[in-house]
Amino acid sequence: MGRFVRLAETDRPPVSLEIDGTMVTALAGDTVQVAILTNGFALRESEFGDGLRAGFCLMAACQDCWVWTVEGERLRGCSTEVAAGMRIVTKGSTWQIEPS
């Protein structure tokens, strides 16, 4: 169940990935944004305290679909294709700088 509704191309191979600690199923060729929004209703939280966001332009212009990998790499959800075993966090970067 999610915000986006699949209307076509549903016979692609499934891909498993982790979003905020939960395993979900997407389809090969999905963007990270589509993987998140076919499994849920929002993509991230605004850093400015006005609540949830789900992206806006889908053409790499607005930068409102940023998520992170658990390793701390920032991804633009609309222009990054899913890969099996991806571990995505949507609530801001979780990595910490190691104290030296």
Partner 1 sequence: MADRTVLIVGAGPAGTRAAERVAAAGLRPVVVDEAAANGGQIYRRQPAGFRRPAQTLYGFESGKAVAVHGAFAALGDRIDYRPLTLVWHLWESEAHLLTGTTASRQQYDALILATGATDRIMPLPGWTLPGVFSLGAAQIALKAQGCAIGSRVVLLGTGPLLPLVAYQYARAGATVAAVLDTSTLGAAIRALPALAARPGMLAKGLYYTAWLLKAGIPFHRGITPTAIEGTDGVAAIRYRTADGIERQVACDAIGLGYGLRSETQLADLARCDFAFDAVARQWLPATDADGRTSTPGVYLAGDGARILGADAAEIAGKLAACAALQDLGIAVPDAEMAAYRAALAPMDRFRVGLDTAYPWPAHFAAGLPDTAVVCRCECITAGDIRDVAREKGAPEVNRAKAFSRLGMGRCQGRMCGAAGAEVLADALGVRLEEVGRLRGQGPVKPLPLATGIAP
Secondary structure class of 40 (helix, strand, coil)? coil
Ramachandran angles phi, psi of 67, nearest 5°:
-135, 180
Q: In whole angstroms, how close is the CB of 57 to partner 1 at the nearest point?
A: 5
Residues 6 or more apart in contact with residue 51 via CB below 8 angstroms: 45
Q: Are 66 and 48 in contact (CB under 8 A)?
A: no
* Interface mask toward partner 1 for 22-41; x: CB under 8 A: ------xxxx--x---x--x
Contact status: 68 vs partner 1 (CB under 8 A): no
Contact status: 95 vs partner 1 (CB under 8 A): no
- For partner 1, the binding residues (CB under 8 A) are 3-10, 12-13, 28-31, 34, 38, 41-43, 46, 48-64, 66, 73-74, 79, 81
